[in-house]
A and B are shown apart, each in its own frame.
Chain A
Amino acid sequence: MSCGEIPDGLANAEEAEAVMPRRRQIRRIDKSLCQRCKTAKSMYLIRNVTYCKACFQHNVFTRFMKTLHPPLKPSTTSDGGTNAKSKQTQGGLRPPKQIGSSLIGLSGGSSSLTMLDLLISKQYIGDDNDRIIDKTKGEKEPIWNKGFVIYVEFDHILNNQLHGSTTPGNQDESLLTSRLEEIENWVKEQNHNLTFIGLNAEDVFDPNLKKRIKALVGIQEGNEDTQSAEGISVDLKNPDLPLFPIPSSSTSTTTPLDQLRSLLASLPAPSRPSLLSSILTSLITITSQTIPNISHILLGETSTRQAQRLISGTASGKGYTLPLELAVSYKAENAITILKPMKEITTKETAIYSYLKGWNGFIRNERKWDNAGPKSKKDSRGKGDIKSLESLTELFIATLAVTHPSTVSTINRTGDKLMFTGEKGQEVSCPVCQLPVDPHALQWKSRTALTSLPTKTIADISSPDDEKNEKLATLLCYACLTTFTPPTVVAKALRSDTEPVQLPYWIGENVRRKVARVEMKEDIKDFLIGEE
């Protein structure tokens, strides 16, 4: 029988089979026994497999191990002779001890707490006391001798509507600082000699950030730590984003918090989460570079969050760097390796794990970045706090996962096939997100996007002085350029006399370093040997 030819009389039955039934009925699993140990009652349903409590915890740890071990092990035989057996044991055997310490990103959500608990309880991170490990007693050699934990507080810039106040800063001060203290106390309670570094999001505007980090860790500050207090500001009116240096001699009474708030206020709500994400990444990077001897950064990104980043990243134009961001292990040039050991574990599993450990009241899973910055009337379009692409995608995936449990794994399997197409070592990085810039993105954008109308007198805005200023737009990657120049920002800025807004110090430093490199190359170009 060939398809398309349905004999008469059978049409209805065939049609019924051909149409997939909608699955919104209650899933009554007949297997009331754990599918792994087949003895205990099944308690949890993860990806259509049932587990009892003990098998569930074991399964989480096994998957954690299988993701964490391979990037830490030295690569196997180069002749490709790794047979199936050695591949199987690759996930099981413990990786060798690493030379440096580890920096762990803790957000206070279920995934990062689960990751930290696994790292401590399974002795991946030592307690820095150099004692001899007695393997006969079941003790294991720690992979990293010491762990540093970093937490970044974003509460100061959020509109905490639940407390009835939409204006930041009106809340009780003790409420605002308590979350950082809570996390610090929790880390101390682990009794594992972990050094806690608590920072605030607005510290990206603090010229003394590196000094503070060193003080928190207890390291002597060196001369190189006196960061030049020369800031940088950008004019968002102009699509070229000209930059203006702010000399260190200028006396400004604005606090870092006010500077961050004014930067957020100048961007529309949908752009704010991606800026906050860059702020978080840069704080972690700066901390890892300030503390000596860090070999790895460990982040607790789950497969659910990964799927959301894949889809929202593609939608916002980050496709070029997605393969790097989503990899288990990523090492940028002159940077420290970032590891994501929770990549194969879903948020549901981390939530159950955290509940079984009794951290239920302590965990705060929601980031609430959609509530950052001032609220405007237009922002109320989003239903239930959804204002950005990131949270919309998250809700979409969560809704789809109810009826289609393999949503997340399907998205991630597809994402794993992405390959980075840039050339290693030749990458130019974006000053904001510090990821490689697609050299063709801006050319493409200039051909497709309408950046100015010929009838409007844009010429009034730019003056001869602008020629001397560095243009941020030419340095940014496509996604960051979209963050800073959405049409609403430019239109709004044109209507009002907005002052250039100050940018965080890390962006200024990266721009200066890039300019210096270009100038250096210009100076020596006559002496460079061509590629013959």
Chain B
Amino acid sequence: MASSDDIVTTSNGLGYTSSSAAHPETLVKPPAAPSASEDTIEIRIEFGGGLHLLFSSQPSHKIRIPRYEPGNADQLPQAVTMRYLVSWMKSNLLSEREEMFGDGDGVRPGILVLINDADWELEGELEYELKDRDEVVFISTLHGG
């Protein structure tokens, strides 16, 4: 358990700085440890258009998530998708105001998502399967002038 905790919390850029020290209850626990093989992938997340203010004011995050979707031990392993990443972010990175980022399964209208610099609409949106070292950028376009 301790070692799997280390994998998640020692990554830099999670952004829990002084604000979380003042409010320890907001420090969200890392997700359940991935399966015994500890197969995780690194994802780089960037925010633009002022969206980082919802994520502890950190514009850049480097996170590790399991390579395969957890909870499918008896079936063929399913690679994690953007859908998983969005819900992971809502539970672990979002420091406030969930409705400003998420909308059901997906992201709020007005938020542009780029995966490795490409429009996510061309990559399958929520169904895109994440690979190691993928770079995902979320840009808020509302009120952009």
Question: For the complex, is A287 an interface residue (Cβ under 8 Å from B)?
Answer: no
Q: Count A-B pairs with CB separation below 8 Å.
A: 123
Question: In the complex, which residues of chain B have a beta carbon less than 8 angstroms from the beta carbon of A22?
Answer: none
In the bound complex, do residue A398 and residue B145 qualify as a contact, i.e. CB atoms below 8 Å apart?
Answer: no
Residue B91 lies at the interface, judged by CB distance under 8 Å to chain A: no
Q: Mark A361-373, 1 if CB is under 8 A from B, else 0.
A: 1011111100000
Whether B112 pairs with A348 at a CB distance below 8 angstroms is yes
**With A360-B48, A395-B110, A401-B109 in contact, is A350–B121 under 8 Å at CB?**
no
In contact, B49 and A53 (Cβ under 8 angstroms)? no
Encoded as 1 (CB less than 8 Å from any A CB) or 0, chain B from 38 to 74 comes to 0000000011111011100001100000000000000
Return chain B residues, CB-CB under 8 Å to A109.
49, 143-145
Say whether B144 contacts A399, CB under 8 Å: no
B50 and A384 contacting across the interface, CB-CB below 8 Å: no
Does B139 make an interface contact (CB < 8 A)? yes
Are A110 and B141 touching (Cβ within 8 A)? yes
Known contacts A43-B122, A355-B114; decide if A300 and B137 are in contact (CB<8 Å): no
B112 A352 Cβ-Cβ under 8 A: yes
In Å, the complex CA distance between A45 and B49 comes to: 19
Residue A347 CB within 8 A of the other chain? yes
**Does A381 sit within 8 A of B, measured CB to CB?**
no
Q: Provide the residues of chain B in CB contact with A401, threshold 8 Å.
A: 109
CB-defined contacts of A360 to chain B, threshold 8 Å? 46-49, 59, 137, 139
How many residues does chain A have at the interface if contact means C-beta atoms less than 8 Å apart? Answer: 49
CB pair A111–B145 under 8 Å, yes or no, is yes
Contact A305 B145 (CB under 8 A): yes
The docked-state distance in angstroms from the alpha carbon of A360 to that of B137 is 9
Task: Please determine whether B121 and A45 come into contact, CB atoms closer than 8 angstroms.
Answer: yes
The size bracket of the interface on B is: 35 or more
B142 near A366: Cβ-Cβ < 8 Å: yes
When distances are taken between beta carbons in the complex, the residues of chain A under 8 Å from B48 are 351, 354-355, 360-361, 363
Quote the shortest CB–CB distance from B106 to chain A (angstroms): 9
Q: Mark A353-393, 1 if CB is under 8 A from B, else 0.
A: 01110001101111110000000000000011100000100
Chain B nearest CB, measured from A172 CB (Å): 13
Q: Are B117 and A110 in contact (CB under 8 A)?
A: no
Nearest chain B CB to A375 CB, angstrom units? 15
User: How far is it, in angstroms, between the C-alpha of A109 and the C-alpha of B143 when the chains are bound?
Assistant: 8
Query: Does B28 touch A at the CB level, under 8 Å?
Result: no
CA distance A27 to B120 in the complex (A): 10
Give the 6 A-B CB pairs with smallest separation, nearest first.
Answer: A360-B48, A365-B144, A398-B110, A365-B49, A398-B109, A364-B50
Please give the residue numbers on chain B whose beta carbons come within 8 Å of chain A beta carbons, in ascending order. Answer: 46-50, 52-54, 59-60, 96-97, 99-100, 109-110, 112, 114, 117-119, 121-122, 124-127, 137, 139-145
Instruction: List 22 interface pairs A-B (beta carbons < 8 Å), by A numbering.
Output: A26-B124, A26-B125, A42-B118, A42-B122, A43-B118, A43-B119, A45-B121, A109-B143, A109-B145, A110-B49, A111-B144, A304-B141, A305-B144, A305-B145, A350-B144, A352-B112, A356-B117, A360-B48, A363-B49, A365-B50, A384-B97, A385-B100
